[in-house]
């Protein structure tokens, strides 16, 4: 049991932006998840697993059929039975961490046919995949840049649409897959395709600590954790509990948080000056600012919130290739306009 205790998120030396991004993603899933990029051994996976200690409560169906918690239109017999008896079909449950294996097949991720039932009973039964099990949970994809293209496309579609379709011939089954997506990668092993990068909200560079003092402190904490996990975690227990309560409170407050006009103007000014092409940039920026205000127990997100989250929301969104194309496009448009006016 001791082996299952994660390293506390607040025990990580430095990496304040990493901790902030992960916390904001829990507060407001609308930021579109988090991408952690950095070399091996800097704590990316350790930080994600540390979220287990601060996971918020979510509404979950009491049945085992993944019925959506906010839709009573298409319920399984178990849920209908609860309603007929006048009982709640929902329960409060902790958000879970679902880790995607690097060798996962498309069928494992999306879902597919139960091969055992097909062989033994000569009938087709569609089963849920990892995306369905990640519904109302956090899905962590390590080495996201090394995944098969079809697998990562399915994950991103599910994260964007909140649902997954399993198709086998004429049979179709719909599963809910509303999740918080966190990916990590080592840029030495290859880049992400632009369309994938665009759909991940907050981006954090997780680099090595710059000073000998910090690196020595990392070593000391790692050894202390390895020798006695329970005692090490106890040193951060009070702060971790407070952080979890802050996340829960911020999630409850978030629907009432609004952006000031000054914050909206400042956000659009930044995006315009940076000439960022994707409209997802402003969505991530503004939703992250709202999450930061909620985490700070405020109902108004201000320009200061925009300024604080802008680096995480806007980095790696420039496109030199697209900029060159647009310059060529403008030149060509000008020539066409001259000819038409002649």
Catalytic residues: 280
CA neighbor of 244 nearest in space, from 62, 26, 81: 26
Do 291 and 327 contact (CB within 8 A), yes or no?
A: no
Do 98 and 139 contact (CB within 8 A), yes or no?
A: yes
CA neighbor of 98 nearest in space, from 59, 146, 155, 43: 155
CA neighbor of 24 nearest in space, from 255, 300, 296, 280: 296
How many CA within 13 A on the CB side of residue 291? Answer: 28
The alpha carbon of 34 is separated from its chain's Cα centroid by a whole number of angstroms, namely: 5
| 3-state secondary structure at position 248 | helix
Residue 50's contacts (CB-CB under 8 Å, 6 or more residues apart) are: 6, 7, 8, 9, 10, 11, 12
What are the beta bridge partners of residue 36? 184, 204
The alpha carbon of 191 is separated from its chain's Cα centroid by a whole number of angstroms, namely: 19
| Distance, CA of 139 to CA of 100 (rounded, Å) | 7
The alpha carbon of 37 is separated from its chain's Cα centroid by a whole number of angstroms, namely: 14
Q: And the tokens for 121?
A: 């009973």
| 3-state secondary structure at position 58 | strand
Do 28 and 56 contact (CB within 8 A), yes or no?
A: no
CA neighbor of 161 nearest in space, from 146, 140, 175, 148: 175
């Amino acid at each position: 049991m001791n082996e299952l205790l994660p390293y506390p998120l607040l025990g990580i030396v430095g990496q304040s932006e990493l901790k902030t991004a992960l916390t904001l993603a829990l507060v407001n899933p609308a930021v579109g998840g988090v991408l952690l990029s950095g070399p091996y051994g800097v704590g990316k996976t350790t930080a994600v697993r540390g979220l287990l200690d601060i996971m918020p409560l979510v509404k979950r169906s009491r049945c085992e059929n993944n019925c959506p918690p906010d839709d009573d239109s298409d319920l399984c017999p178990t849920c209908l039975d609860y309603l007929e008896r006048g009982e709640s079909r929902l329960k409060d449950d902790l958000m879970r961490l679902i880790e995607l294996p690097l060798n996962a097949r498309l069928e494992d991720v999306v879902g597919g046919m139960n091969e055992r039932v097909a062989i033994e009973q000569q009938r087709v039964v569609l089963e849920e995949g990892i995306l369905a099990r990640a519904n109302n949970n956090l899905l962590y994809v390590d080495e996201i840049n090394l995944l098969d293209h079809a697998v990562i496309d399915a994950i991103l579609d599910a994260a964007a649409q909140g649902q997954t379709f399993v198709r086998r011939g004429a049979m179709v089954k719909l599963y809910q897959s509303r999740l918080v997506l966190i990916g990590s990668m080592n840029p030495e092993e290859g880049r992400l395709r632009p369309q994938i990068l665009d759909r991940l909200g907050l981006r954090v560079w997780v680099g090595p600590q710059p000073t000998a003092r910090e690196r020595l402190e990392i070593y000391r904490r790692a050894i202390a954790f390895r020798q006695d996990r329970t005692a090490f975690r106890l040193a951060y227990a009070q702060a971790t509990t407070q952080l979890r309560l802050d996340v829960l409170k911020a999630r409850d407050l978030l629907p009432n948080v609004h952006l000031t006009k000054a914050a909206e103007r400042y956000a659009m000014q930044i995006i315009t000056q940076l000439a960022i092409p994707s409209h997802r940039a402003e969505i991530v920026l503004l939703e992250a600012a709202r999450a930061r205000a909620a985490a700070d127990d405020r109902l108004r997100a201000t320009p200061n919130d925009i300024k604080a989250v802008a680096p995480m929301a806007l980095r790696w969104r420039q496109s030199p290739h697209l900029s060159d194309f647009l310059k060529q496009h403008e030149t060509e448009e000008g020539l066409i306009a001259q000819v038409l006016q002649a």
